[in-house]
Structure 1
């Protein structure tokens, strides 16, 4: 359970007018629960450092865990961030998957023979793995988002700004939340990012080509550095038509502004050639500056004695960036930046935001870090960074790209019971499979994950907290009251028992007493710790390896050779892919023009099937299984505790090796080398699971 609860900003919230509005507009049922959680505070859990990269004097952090828990830690430590960019789920109703590529096996002769050939992308064998489901009820999403925004605000410095990246699905509702949390007066811009100029054809409506980025400041003062885009050749030719004798291009700009003002002297002595501005106008400069401009040639008079200001092209920064951004394209699969992370944003987008709203040395944070673009760009621009995400793939992707950039940072895990598996979507799916007998039940509300059929008790509904909703993780009296007085009364009258799983519990004895003292509830309520189920969801991989010491010179070299690698979870994912692929090549008895003699087998539904003309090439894994390895690291510093990667290699999807962050055109030979004696070995499979072995030399 949580160590303590840290107050939100600035203190327990009162009023919550906006949530009351949602209660009327959206039949929002959880406003009271949100208020209670905000009053209780942000849950602070143990934070465990799992790896350190470099000396990290700036305190850069990668945190695996939820936004709210990360903010609780930052606030407890007195860490304030100067700029926040978040790209949270869009409530789009879509499932997001990672494409998992099979690597080259260094033991296969054919791969060695083709080592000099470029592997065409179409030849790659891959399958998809669901990372998270962006499927929410509107009120649940707004509940969750409100709490996250309150948590983020609590760790922002007084001069900080925040950019929230969304699209048409939910952005207009979040704009109202932002007004409530940060104040309508602190709204700066609604930025429209036209992310594509070649949209997919969409029938019956205009094509969707943009996202929305909401820009707010926290306090009265904030950082804003004006940004510019380069002039186009067409713009230069249209406006910068004149040349000086030495070839400098320039334009002549209007020297007036709206609003009546006095005249001025345009002689070199500042006392002659008095000129009045046109009616309703005034000169843009005062007399002293005008005289200097005339003497330096910055002000020129036309044949009609009308002043004009010379603007030299080489002195102009470019066109000021406005609130519609059409010059930044979305990430393409062939981009040099591509990390195969579904929701990845281009670096140039974050470069504009970070340059505009922070200065060098400031702290930039992204609490839904995804592919790590915010941290990567912040590091390149000389800012400190905090990257937070609940998914292990996000942490690994960000770690690897920061290693390539020679960044220094520490990696932490929040021990909140949610990060025991790879990501919330997979955890939720796995939990349902691990609970014996749990099945969907149409007669139950979506509050219940399903039900178990018991021979004596009949239907037993099961509640599982939504790991994407921080509010449902904690089982306290408020949640128990809701279960007993809202969820249970809606159950069928023949239900005699329910099972309630929890991740965190306020006080188990008090909750149980609270249940026992409730006379109105006659249904048996059994409480179960979800972590007992999650422990069974973690599978470690198996590896065989040989460690040897080579003394070819004065400096010895250690070599670790991987001879065998097996991953039960990856193998099962490949089996599922192959079974689905094979099933798609079969024609069932519902199809016409098939003779009875053509049928060869039955599918799971008992239907006759016959092979169709479709072809399917299954993914086959060798006996050694080395093609299931994505990353290997050796720790020559620590035998236990925090990981220190003294030597590492990553095999990209084309089979090339990235050595200590540096890309090469070499294929992996099945080994990893280091100069110091290796103490531990870490292997990451292609799905992202990591396993550590202690070594003896």
Structure 2
């Protein structure tokens, strides 16, 4: 449960309509269950416990937060933190699944032989498989309601001179433009920026190739920060010199009345930005599915903020906003729900020598690496669950069969939809007064799982007072189920004292989850190859299993609590070492050294799961 709810607007008078200026929104958002959005906004933003995870470098105001946008905004508001610029690149409602390519590293023993022979690693030799990061599949009404809540929360923590850039494309952008008008005001709309990219491959179709995205640019008030952006011309052009008379801009003339000309080497940026997409061979590339180019964020940040101002991205993804903000001398706040995003931006900022703190919002959504993976796993985690049971509607996640109760329908909240995160009276009311009555099976009991719950005693009383059926409603905490099945990787290592400090050698690393994933990949690949009459080369893991390791860090300061990386090494997909953020052409030898005695060791596998062990 949230610690408390923080109002969207300060000093709200009881009984006063908070949303008194959105009559058009109520018409525009006449979608399924949008009334719940207004109820939640009136209740306030949920403020949860926030756990400090790690501090990198010196103490600073820069934050990397794992959590949902609304929960992060509640935290920022509670802390009195205002942001001066928001650059967000939320899901596009594209109907696509986004995956991460997971590369196995080279066995250190094999890598040593390659290093001896002075050979380069061949990218074609890399073994890899894919894991789903998140699904960008929405019903339109769910997406717009979700986006409206997020925009309301974001606006609430923006300073008076702040601006927002919201990046979308043709899928849903025209609908969200209307939401932006309502949240920020039509008069505060500044530009619809067209990001044109000529280097992105387009699908073959019977229409024109799509080569742009849309970025909506709004200010919060009339006092917004804006710096004119100049773009260097390919070649200088001759133009008449302009002078300001105090009333208007006019051509400059000499004493004889002739127009004065001069060479112009740059031009004021307009609202069409020709910036290349991040190609697969680009040095910026961090192997993140939705990565955006640094030049795109540089344009926004330079235009709408000054040094030391706070720039926030609440759907941070690959971390380009945080990285560019740091490069340009701004403070940054990076927020994302996915662990892969947090790890990607962390490593990126370590390389950039940034100072920042990593926080995790304990809102119950960050169960596995991301909500999508949790949803994919749930069907196998609930004992005896069967999907698509006859007589059970799609409202239910499935059903289990018990000897005494018979068929027991099971409800599970969709973790990809923030509207279902909190089990409250409206949801329970839907269950007991609609879904129970619509069941086409003779059920004696249903199970309702929840991630978060409004007030369990109040809900149980509501069920008792309003359930007109004989069907028992059992409430269960989904977090307890998931906690029991999360298995840590097995790590075998040895730390020894040397003349220069300490050396920790990894002897063995076992990840049952990754081994199972690789087994599934090999089985599928073999079946496809047999069907096509081709030879399949399976992924094989050595006995030591060191190919499954991406990062190793040592903490020489603490045995518990917030992590402090005294020293760390990361192995990139080619097998090269990145030591404390510094890239090299050296291969990993299976060891990590430290000047001081290490107290804890952290190992991150190639999928992003982390294991921390205390060193005895």
Which range, TM-score by smaller chain? over 0.9
Alignment of 1:344-423 (within 5 A): 344-423=291-370
1:563 to 498, 507, 514: 507
Most deviating of 531-540 and 654-663: 531-540
Q: 2: distance between equivalents of 1:65 and 1:412?
A: 9
**What residue in structure 1 maps to residue 260 of structure 2?**
309
**Residue in 2 that maps onto 1:517:** 465
Aligned 8 A contact 1:104 1:111 in 2: no
C-alpha distance in 2, partners of 1:161/1:74? 17
Task: Output the CA distance in 1 between the equivalents of 2:481 and 2:242.
Answer: 73
Q: Distance in 1 between matches of 2:359 and 2:469?
A: 43
What corresponds to 1:505 in structure 2? 453
In structure 1, the residue matched to 2:7 is 7
**1:449-495: CA deviation from partner (whole Å, max 9, x where unpaired):** 22223344443222111212222111122221122233333332534
Aligned CA distance change for structure 1 residues 115 and 545 (closer, same or farther; 3 Å):
farther
Say if 2:198 and 2:211, in contact at 8 Å, map to a contact too. Answer: yes
8 Å Cα contact 1:9/1:153 also seen in 2: no
Tell me the distance in 2 between the aligned counterparts of 1:323 and 1:416. Answer: 39
The Cα of 1:217 is off from its aligned counterpart by 0.7
CA deviation vs aligned residue, 1:507-546 (integer Å, no higher than 9, x gap): 2122111101114243221111011122034221111111
CA contact (8 A) 1:95 1:130 kept: yes
1:127 has 2:129 as partner: yes
SS at match of 1:650: strand
SS at the partner of 2:100? strand
Residue 544 of structure 1 corresponds to 492
Q: Is the 8 A contact 1:629 1:686 kept in 2?
A: yes
Query: Helix, strand or coil for the counterpart of 1:353?
Result: helix
Distance in 2 (CA, whole Å) between partners of 1:478 and 1:157 is 34
Distance 1:439 1:154 in 2: 43
* Equivalent residues of 1:165, 1:211 under 8 A apart: yes
Query: Residues 106 and 112 of structure 1 are in contact (CA less than 8 Å); yes or no, is this contact kept in structure 2?
Result: no
Q: In the alignment, which residue of structure 1 is the partner of 2:35?
A: 32
Check the 8 A contact 1:105/1:111 in 2, yes or no. Answer: no
Displacement of 1:283 in angstroms is 7.9
Q: Using the TM superposition, give the Cα deviation of residue 114 of structure 1 relative to its aligned residue in structure 2, in angstroms.
A: 6.2
Q: Is the 8 A contact 1:684 1:690 kept in 2?
A: yes
Mapped to 2, the partners of 1:437 and 1:4 lie a distance apart of 36
Give the distance between the partners of 1:455 and 1:341, measured in 2 at CA. 48
Note the 1:74-223 alignment, pairs <5 A. 74-108=76-110, 111-112=113-114, 116-197=118-199, 199-223=201-225
Is 1:21 matched up with 2:27? yes
- SS of residue paired to 2:150: helix
> Counterpart in 2 of 1:330?
277
Q: Considering only aligned residues, what root-mean-square deviation do their CA atoms show, in Å? A: 2.0
Paired residue for 2:591, among 659, 664, 671?
A: 671
Question: How many angstroms does 1:184 deviate by?
Answer: 0.8
**1:492 to 1:107, Cα distance in 2 relative to 1, 3 A:** same
Contact 1:255 / 1:307 at 8 angstroms: preserved in 2? no
SS of equivalent to 2:612:
strand
Contact 2:166 2:217 in 1 (8 A): yes
CA displacement 1:373-418 (0-9 Å, x = unmatched): 0000000000000001011110000000100010000101111111
User: Conserved in 1, the CA contact under 8 Å of 2:52 and 2:562?
Assistant: yes
Q: Secondary structure at the match of 1:147?
A: helix
For residue 139 of structure 1, give the secondary structure of its aligned residue in structure 2. Answer: helix
Asked if residue 428 in structure 1 is aligned to residue 379 in structure 2, the reply is no
Q: C-alpha separation between the residues in 2 aligned to 1:110 and 1:159?
A: 56
Partner residue, 1:609: none
**How far, CA to CA, are the matches of 2:92 and 2:86 in structure 1?**
17
Shift in Å at residue 18 of structure 1?
A: 4.3
Shift of 1:426: 0.2
Q: Which residue is 1:620 aligned to?
A: 540
Query: Is the partner of 2:300 in helix, strand or coil?
Result: helix
Q: Measure the CA separation in 2 of the matches of 1:75 and 1:23.
A: 27
1:572 aligned residue? 516
**Equivalent in the alignment of 1:472:** 420
- Mind listing any 5+ residue stretches in structure 2 that lack a counterpart? none
Larger radius of gyration: 1
CA distance in 2, matches of 1:659, 1:630: 12
Alignment counterpart, residue 496 of structure 1, candidates 440, 444, 454 = 444
Give the whole-Å Cα distance in 2 for the aligned partners of 1:228 and 1:105. Answer: 49
> In structure 2, do the counterparts of structure 1 residues 113 and 253 end up closer, same or farther at CA, with 3 Å as the change threshold?
closer
CA distance in structure 1 between the partners assigned to 2:350 and 2:77 by the alignment: 28
Q: Could you tell me how far 1:638 is from its partner in structure 2?
A: 1.4
Instruction: Verify the 8 A CA contact 1:61 1:386 in the aligned structure 2.
Output: yes
Cα distance in 1 for partners of 2:314, 2:440 equals 41
Q: State the Cα distance separating 1:112 from its structure 2 match.
A: 4.0
Q: 2:610 aligns with which of 690, 694, 697?
A: 690
CA distance 1:417–1:231, shift in 2 (3 Å): same
Structure 1 unmatched runs, 5+? 241-250, 262-281, 291-298, 588-611
Judge conservation of contact 2:432–2:467 (CA < 8 Å) in 1: no
Aligned 8 A contact 2:112 2:589 in 1? no
Deviations 1:263-300 (A, max 9, x none): xxxxxxxxxxxxxxxxxxx9827xxxx7xxxxxxxx44
Aligned equivalents of 1:684, 1:173: Cα separation in 2: 40
Q: Secondary structure at the match of 1:561?
A: strand
Instruction: Show the 5 A alignment for 1:218-297.
Output: 218-233=220-235, 236=236, 239-240=237-238, 251-253=239-241, 284=250
The 5 A counterparts of 1:434-449 are: 434-441=381-388, 443-449=391-397
Residue pair 2:189, 2:219 contacting (<8 A) in 1 also: yes
Shift of 1:448: 1.9
Distance in 2, Cα, partners of 1:349 & 1:113: 38
TM-score (norm 1): 0.84
Q: Using the alignment, how far apart are the partners of 1:678 and 1:430 within structure 2?
A: 36
**In structure 2, how many angstroms separate the alpha carbons of the residues matched to 1:635 and 1:162?**
39
SS in 2 for 1:678: coil
Match of 2:52 in 1: 49
1:230 & 1:283 partners in 2: Cα distance? 22
Distance 1:545 1:13, change over 3 A: same
Give the corresponding residue for 2:407: 459
